[in-house]
Structure 1
């Protein structure tokens, strides 16, 4: 039996400033730190005293989310740059309006998988999933039954497709819109070994913050 708790980092400064996130290394806001503590509360209650492994993107907004969780379970955070959000290249850290003026829209048909949306240095979808899929494979090599992964919204969507065994070629259309600060629970059924999504994008713990 295995449970994976997929956490998207909560409110970060780039959300407030309306700038492009990606690899821009923004920090959590004061509210985001409160939300991270609330996420830690939920996971501590749900998992209890069982052993836990915690993995995180190396960007500050993710590690700042993972740290209070790690304190609750008295374990170290295992940092992995492969769990970063998609890079927007030269757009990272710039105003969202700057990116909107230059973005090349994803077509409905044609080669959606290899589409490049404009900014120099931005990752294509294959480049993104070709680092996320092996990152999850390495995490799953551990025999741990409870694992927490702290990442970012778009990246976490493709960690779900990886968990479900969807081929990379399917990621040209498959996407799970996730909210900052959400928890998604993935479960491996011990009877018929299926990979399940037990909960998707839980945000009830954020409602009064």
Structure 2
């Protein structure tokens, strides 16, 4: 049986400063560090002692710091994969959210949502974003680990889950698995039927203590 725990990084500086995230390399806040420790404890309680675990993380500082907390308790060093980064918002990254909001061109309700140009120089299309997450997941799923932890970002999680389910990229125009920062999503594949389950989506109970 394969279990994958997908973690969205907790509170980061761009959240509290009202800045656009994306590839802007923000850090965890002190509250975010506390939440990362809570995530690590929750995973330690779920993953059996002595189990071989693979830990893969986006390479941005906020996800790396989260992965360090997790790796410390699980006894594993995180492997960094830039393909697990959040969507790139190009020239908007690190600017006030209001700057992006004034210039953002929303996708059409019907039509080419995957290739839609949002009007922001350097911003990824939904298709480009999904494509690199799918590429990362293709590699991760070839690794022979019973327990894997992926540390990524809120919007990126949608495509991690979609890749796990096996949804074709061209069907993702309207898909959104919305979760909170600091959440844990549990994916599982059984050894007999090899069915892939979404066991738990966006769980944040570990942050309540």
- The TM-score normalised by the length of structure 2 is 0.98
Aligned to 2:37: 37
Aligned to 2:146: 145
Further displaced range: 69-78 or 56-65: 69-78
The ranges of structure 1 where at least 4 consecutive aligned residues each deviate by more than 2 angstroms after the TM superposition are none
Q: Shift of the alpha carbon at 1:48?
A: 2.4
1:169-199 deviation line (CA, Å, top 9, x unaligned):
0110111001100000000022211111000
CA distance in 2, matches of 1:111, 1:81: 26
What SS does structure 2 have at the residue aligned with 1:105?
coil
Q: Shift of the alpha carbon at 1:206?
A: 1.2
Further displaced range: 31-40 or 46-55: 46-55
Q: Shift of the alpha carbon at 1:108?
A: 0.6
Aligned to 1:22: 22
1:83-127 deviation line (CA, Å, top 9, x unaligned):
000000000000000000000011111111111111100000111
CA distance in 2, matches of 1:134, 1:117: 23
Aligned to 1:104: 105
Q: What pairs with 1:1-209 in structure 2 (closer than 5 Å)?
A: 1-49=1-49, 50-208=51-209
Runs of 5+ in structure 2 lacking a partner?
none
What SS does structure 2 have at the residue aligned with 1:53?
strand
CA distance in 1, matches of 2:23, 2:69: 22
What SS does structure 2 have at the residue aligned with 1:172?
coil
Further displaced range: 69-78 or 57-66: 69-78
CA distance in 2, matches of 1:56, 1:77: 6
- The TM-score normalised by the length of structure 1 is 0.98
Q: Shift of the alpha carbon at 1:6?
A: 0.2
CA distance in 2, matches of 1:48, 1:21: 34
CA distance in 2, matches of 1:157, 1:64: 22
How many residue pairs match? The answer is 208
CA distance in 1, matches of 2:93, 2:167: 28
CA distance in 1, matches of 2:173, 2:100: 21
Runs of 5+ in structure 1 lacking a partner?
none
What SS does structure 1 have at the residue aligned with 2:5?
strand
